Structure 1
Amino acid sequence: MDPLRIGARASLMSLMQTAPILARLTPTPTLLRPFYEAGGDRESNRAALDAEGVFSEEIESALLAGEIDVAVHCLKDCPTQDTPGLAMAAYLPRDDIRDCLVTRHGDTTLDTLPEGAAIATASVRRGSALRAYRPDLAVVPIRGPVSERLRTLDEVGGNVDGLIVATCSMERLGLAHRINQRISTEIICPPLGAAIIALQAREDDLETRKQLSKLHDQATEIEAQTERLILRRMGGFCNAPLAGYCTTTAAGTYTVRARAFGYGGGTTIDTRLTGKDPIQTAEAVCEKLTRHGKP
């Protein structure tokens, strides 16, 4: 049997989250190919975060060319429209959607950070939420893999007091012990598509899609499709001033939330609705968000 050729970004984060996927595909033989030149990952001349595909374009091109059979993506970094010829073949069970605070001191929280503390993030969403919650903090732009940002934080005499990063990133790196605070979604709303790993295959590669189906989580697929709909309708992308999520309630209904920010820092609109149909609920949220956003 030919090995299943799996492509993933070459960052430590990406490789750490891909390793369990290879294990779960056993006894199917697999071959991992790391990709080093994603526009958002490059050491120099990194692509801007104000467009789609800066983390996925390189891997998708290889998948379309038949150089790999499966692409591993963080869903929030993917284009909101499926690339022609490709399909999401499986969504893994969703991890913790919250952001977290990481500092040098284990007992620090957002509320106990000293006035003027420098908190690093390149995310418009996170920066806007921080300025709304603690306008006295200094938001410092920083980009790069989580491991690189942690090195910046840990530098002796450095000018960064803390980082805001995804909780799931710290957990996948085996660094959950470094988390100071898992931040409520009421303070920092997560990005649409947060904490979801998606496996992509060629649309006509039915054998590969069948092999990946054993990893698929139906509940995560519903949430993913719902959140991608909001991104498409609202023109969102990975670093847009837009956040939100879909959650499944114990009663079998769906709560859909969307939160839009002004680039200056204040929250402008925060909408959430609950309904029995997640897509219809998401459409109603988009309509409400659009209506409220009109002058």
Structure 2
Amino acid sequence: MEPLLIGARASLMSLMQTAPRLARLAPTPVLLRPFYGAGGDREKGRAPLEADGVFSEEIEAALLSGEIDVAVHCLKDAPTHDTAGTVMAAYLQRDDRRDALVTREPDLNLMTLPPGARIGTASIRRAVALRRVRPDIKVVPMRGPINARLRAMEQGEVEGLIVATCSMERLGLSGRIGERLSTETVCPPLGAAIIALQTREDDMDTRKAVSGLHHPETEVEAEAERMVLRQMGGFCNAPLAGHCLTDRSEDGTAYTLRACVFSPDGGMVIDARASGGDATVVALQVCRRLKHHGGLELGKAA
């Protein structure tokens, strides 16, 4: 049996989240190929976050050329629109979508941080949320591997970091989390905490091989959130956030989707949400509300 060739970013975070899940493909053999040159990961000539697909272009090119059979993406970093000739063949079960506060001094939370505390993040979304809750906080632009950011914090460059809860958990660092921040406080990025497996559209054997990893409920949420990204012109670090929640009860399944568009300084935020039994319809309702209140114009201005 020929092994599946799996491509993933070479960061520790990517490899830690990918390897355990690939084990579930047994007895299908797999070979993991790390990509060291992903534009958003490079130490030199690093691609800016203010563009679509900064973490995926090289891996997608390898997929289309046949160098690999499966490309592994964090969905929030994947291209907003499917690249011609490819398909998202599987969405893995979603992890914790919340952001987390990690602090140098133990037992601190967002409200007990000292006045003027420096918090490291390169995310516009996180910076805006922080300024709305704690306008005294100084946001320090900081990106790169989580371990590098943690070292910078320990060396006194900042008093704390805002990071993805799922990233800390996948790295075995959940004990370092000081506070898991409510999604109402810090709205997650669209596609947060979802790993997607991308294949060539016509490669039916590979699509079948990875289908056992697919989680249908996550797919519904993922596609609803990608609908918002497409309608609102969003990408990885756009001034746009949101998430879809699934609520199962005796009366059936309902979906609630919230999305926000904001100015970089946090001075203006357009926040919309809707609920219903069809996640796609709910996503379109939210987009209409955002557009009605000037969401497209605000996003472009940012």
Q: Which amino acid aligns with 1:182?
A: R
Superposition deviation, residue 261 in structure 1 = 1.1
**Equivalent in the alignment of 1:201:** 199
For 1:273, the equivalent position in structure 2 comes to 274
Whether the 8 Å CA contact 1:131–1:266 is kept in 2: the answer is no
- Equivalent residue for 2:259? 258
> Residues of 2 paired with 1:133 and 1:256: CA distance?
22
Matched, 1:23 2:23: yes
Q: Deviations over 1:55-79 (max 9, x none)?
A: 0001000000000001110000011
What corresponds to 1:289 in structure 2?
290
The corresponding residue for 2:94 is 94
Give the alignment's TM-score, normalised by structure 2. 0.95
Aligned 1:106-117 pairs, distance under 5 A: 106-117=106-117
Structure-1 residue corresponding to 2:188:
190
Q: State the secondary structure of the residue aligned to 1:253.
A: strand
Structure 2 Cα separation of the partners of residues 254 and 215 of structure 1: 23
Alpha-carbon offset, residue 293 of structure 1:
1.5
- Partner Cα distance (1:226, 1:55) in 2: 22
Hey, what's the Cα distance between the residues in 2 that align with 1:246 and 1:266? 25
SS at match of 1:163: strand
Q: Secondary structure at the match of 1:271?
A: strand
Matched letter for residue 164 of structure 2: A
Which residue in the other structure is 2:164 paired with?
Answer: 166
Q: Contact 1:129/1:266 (CA < 8 Å) preserved in 2?
A: no
Q: CA deviation at 1:267?
A: 4.6
- Tell me whether 248-257 or 202-211 shows the greater mean CA deviation: 248-257
- State the match for 1:9 in structure 2: 9
Q: Distance in 2 between matches of 1:142 and 1:234?
A: 26
Secondary structure in 2 matching 1:151: helix
| Counterparts of 2:136 and 2:273, CA distance in 1 | 28
Mapped to 1, the partners of 2:267 and 2:134 lie a distance apart of 11
- Equivalent positions of 1:55-134 (< 5 A) are 55-134=55-134
Per-residue CA deviations over 1:146-192 (Å, capped at 9, x if unaligned) read 1221121122xx22110000000000001000000000011100000
Structure 2 distance, partners of 1:68, 1:259, is 36
Q: Is residue 72–residue 198 contact of structure 2 (8 Å, CA) maintained in 1?
A: yes
1:137: which partner in 2? Answer: 137
Aligned-pair CA distance for 1:238: 0.4
Amino acid across the alignment from 1:229: M
Matched residues in 2 for 1:67 and 1:154: separation?
A: 40
Aligned identity (percent) is 66
Pick aligned residue for 2:226 from 225, 228, 232: 228
2:15 maps to a residue whose letter is L
In structure 2, give the amino acid aligned to 1:193.
G
CA deviation after TM superposition for structure 1 residue 87, in Å: 0.5
Q: Deviations along 1:40-60, whole A, 9 cap, x unmatched?
A: 000122111111110000100
Shift of 1:18: 0.6
Q: What is the CA deviation profile of residues 93-123 of structure 1, one whole-angstrom value per residue up to 9, with x for unaligned ones?
A: 0000000000122301000000000000000
What's the Cα RMSD here? 1.0
| Structure 1 contact 39–46 (Cα < 8 Å) conserved | yes
SS at match of 1:64: helix
What is the rounded CA distance, in whole Å, between the counterparts of 1:219 and 1:187 in structure 2? 25
Q: Give structure 1 stretches of 5+ with no counterpart.
A: none
- Residue type of the partner of 1:42? R
Query: Which amino acid in structure 2 is aligned with residue 195 of structure 1?
Result: A
Q: Deviations over 1:268-294 (max 9, x none)?
A: 111111011110111010000000127
Letter in 2 for 1:60: E
Mapping for residues 37-56 of structure 1, pairs under 5 Å: 37-56=37-56
Runs of 4+ in 1 over 4 A off after TM superposition: none
**TM-score between both structures, scaled by the size of structure 1:** 0.98
Count of aligned pairs? 293
Q: Partner residue of 2:300?
A: none
